[in-house]
Amino acid sequence: MLHRLLLTLILALALNASACAARRFEAALVPLADQAGVGDTYAGIRLLGALRLAPAEINSQRFCGLSGLAWDEDAGILYALSDRGSLFHLQPELNPQGHLTGIKLIAAYPLRNALDRPLRSPYDDAEGLAIRNSGNGIQGDAELLVSFEIRPRVVRYSPTGLWRGEEKLPALLRDPGHYRNPNQGLEAIAVDPYWGILIGTEVPLLNDPSDQVRLFQLDGRSWNYLLSPAPESALVAMEVLPDGSLLTLERAFVAPLRPLIISLRRTPLPEPGGVAPLNVTDVAVFDSSQGWLLDNFE
């Protein structure tokens, strides 16, 4: 399972979110770095490959601006979410060594609202993606959880984008006035078998310290998560590991001519509600100024 998770994170689809001109879908292998290749180990993780995916259009859905990924073990499908409210089904192709060699785009669906209509702005800014029932051996019972910015909410969907209901957020997260920027809201979401749905904001809430975000449960309890010291680092994704710890992804972007830094980090989850920040440690840090091929990983 962990190798699939790392595949999902390193896949992170090197796709420029602003380049959405539609053309035929293509997936091209790209090097991960000048100093490291596929199959190499870096900072304790094994690099499984990277692809650059060309913007395309399928079923009237623009394949670009990807913001979330989730793996369905039972169906063998990698779900990809766009920040324009589209859901894509992908099938990664691996060689016998488990290295990523290609990927197929097999289906696309618009996310729909409770009236069964495709989402429209400002309600379509989908950012975080998590999955339930992805590896229980039962075909067809997967449920996707999507977190949104601009109009903060968490919605349950079928794998074909059908609305199944909305989770009730803590009052603090329901009010857009508590966010520093409406476009830096509910960026990260995960499902923990013990704690339930976990939600993290991209940057600290308006009245919180500038160097830490809070990870929330739906009942309002939270943990304080200390961000990486990289300038402007922000929480963009998280996954629960089999041992119960949390794997997080941070992106630090200041300006086009400054280094882009992606941090993969890990933290245990003790009983929530404590004042002290979580004990977060770096797993691997990727810095574009050191030869790593990076993009807007989300």
Summarize pLDDT for 165-185 with one digit per residue, the tens.
999 999 999 999 999 988 889
Buried b or exposed e, range 12-38, using 16+ CB within 10 angstroms: bbbbebeebeeeebebeeeebbeebeb
CB atoms within 10 A of CB 125: 21
Q: Compute the Cα dihedral for 35, 39, 40, 42 and give only its sign.
A: positive
Distance, CA of 151 to CA of 125 (rounded, Å) = 8
Q: Which domains does the chain have, with CATH numbers?
A: 2-290 (2.120.10)
Establish how many alpha carbons lie within 13 A of residue 130's alpha carbon, considering only the half-sphere containing its beta carbon.
25
Is residue 14 a contact partner of residue 293, using CB atoms and an 8 Å limit? yes
Rounded Cα distance, 142 and 3, in Å: 21
With contact defined as beta carbons under 8 Å apart, do 248 and 221 qualify?
no
What residues contact 65, with CB distance under 8 A and at least 6 apart?
15, 17, 18, 20, 82, 83, 84
* Global pTM value: 0.92
What Å distances lie between residue 17 and 40, 64, 67, 160, CA to CA? 28, 6, 9, 23
What is the mean predicted confidence (pLDDT) over 270-294?
88
Q: How many helices (H) and strands (E) does the chain have?
A: 2, 22
pLDDT in tens, 129-154: 999 999 898 988 999 999 999 999 99
CB 146 within 8 A of CB 123: no
- Summarize pLDDT for 100-135 with one digit per residue, the tens: 999 999 999 999 999 999 999 999 999 999 999 998
CB atoms within 10 A of CB 206: 11
- Provide the CA 190 distance to its chain's centre, in angstroms: 9
- Residues 189-204: pLDDT tens digits? 999 999 999 999 999 9
Q: How confident is the model at residue 34 (pLDDT cuts 50, 70, 90)?
A: confident
